[in-house]
Structure 1
Amino acid sequence: MPVCLHLDRLLHKRRMSLAELADRTGVSASDLAILKSGDARALRFTTLEALCRELGCQPGDILTYAPDGPTPPDAPA
């Protein structure tokens, strides 16, 4: 899929667990797990806003567009 989510990278960088992010955002842990795994087919703006607020980032830090496939692991977030 050409749109890649980097939630796992941001969580690791901020030393935050998925459960902690779920508590802070009000988004269920199962929904966040779907986002983290890259299996999500949609993302609400309210969810994106909550993620950006709690992770202290911009939408472009969470999402990237790679028309030729996933972003390599060593690419900047």
Structure 2
Amino acid sequence: MGIIINIDVMLAKRKMSVTELSERVGITMANLSILKNGKAKAIRFSTLEAICDALDCQPGDILEYESEKEE
């Protein structure tokens, strides 16, 4: 799996729409969709900071690592 993006979880907890987050962060809906669906190859720290600020959370609330090894 690798890195899991939990933006949907934080949006639900904050009762915020994807559109509102997009406007607050200043990124397009298309780029936010790519990020939240786990299709992004990278994220800028400034974007991560803006998302955390808008959602009032920590990076660890959004990003999660899951080992690809089967135990």
SS in 2 for 1:41: coil
SS in 1 for 2:68: coil
Q: What residue in structure 2 maps to residue 53 of structure 1?
A: 53
TM-score after normalising by structure 2: 0.89
Shift of 1:52: 0.4
Give the unaligned 5+ runs of structure 1. Answer: 70-77
Q: Distance in 2 between matches of 1:21 and 1:54?
A: 7
Q: Does 1:6 align with 2:6?
A: yes
Moved over 6 A (4+): none
Aligned residues: 69
Q: Distance in 2 between matches of 1:23 and 1:8?
A: 16
- Residue identity over aligned pairs, in percent, reads 49
Task: Determine which structure has the larger helix proportion and give its number.
Answer: 2
Q: Distance in 2 between matches of 1:22 and 1:2?
A: 25
Q: Distance in 1 between matches of 2:8 and 2:52?
A: 14
Give the unaligned 5+ runs of structure 2. Answer: none
TM-score after normalising by structure 1: 0.83
